[in-house]
Amino acid sequence: MMQTRKLTIACPQCGSRDISYSCSPSCCFNHVCAECYTTFEPATEATGKMVSGALPPQSLPEAADPTVACAKCDSTKVYMLTGDELACTDCGAALRLVLNEIAPG
Ligand SMILES: [Zn+2]
Ligand SMILES: [Zn+2]
């Protein structure tokens, strides 16, 4: 079993992890940095590896916490396994974070 941690994302402009998610997965994944107001949309790509028995974090994210969808199954139950490796706890795919639509604030 592998315990995951809540997803945090570093701002591509200033590196702050004070990032909030202002929309909902049915609309878009637009996130905003509280430090420099850069906006971006995180996504994932599958690394090809699978993670067996990845457990969701003990404290589940709130609505405004960073959220990203699994490249394999579209679930938003995507959490951090290590510093730069993510895992989907629905399908077990190991994922890597990619940031799109970066618009400096
Ligand atoms: Zn920033
Ligand atoms: Zn998945």
pLDDT digits (tens, 9 = 90+) for 41-82: 999 999 999 999 999 999 888 989 999 999 999 999 999 998
Higher-confidence residue: 59 or 31? 31
CA 31 to chain centre: 10
Q: What is the pLDDT of residue 22?
A: 87
Mean pLDDT of the chain: 95
Ligand at shortest distance from the CA of 9:
1
Q: What is the pLDDT of residue 63?
A: 87
Segment holding 86, helix H or strand E: strand 86-88
| CB neighbours of residue 83 within 10 Å | 7
Centroid of ligand 1 to alpha carbon of 104 (angstroms) = 8
Question: 3-state class of 2 per DSSP?
Answer: strand
Q: Percentage of the chain surpassing pLDDT 70?
A: 100
Centroid of ligand 1 to alpha carbon of 20 (angstroms) = 11
18-35 exposure pattern, b = at least 16 Cβ within 10 A, e = fewer: ebebeeeeeeebebbbee
CB 66 within 8 A of CB 8: yes
pLDDT at 84 over 90: no
Tell if the pTM clears 0.75, that is, is over it. yes
Mean pLDDT of 83-104: 95
Residues surrounding ion ligand 1 at CB below 5 Å:
11, 13-14, 16, 33, 35-36, 38
Ligand at shortest distance from the CA of 76:
2
Q: Residue 11: pLDDT band by 50, 70, 90 thresholds?
A: very high
Centroid of ligand 2 to alpha carbon of 71 (angstroms) = 7
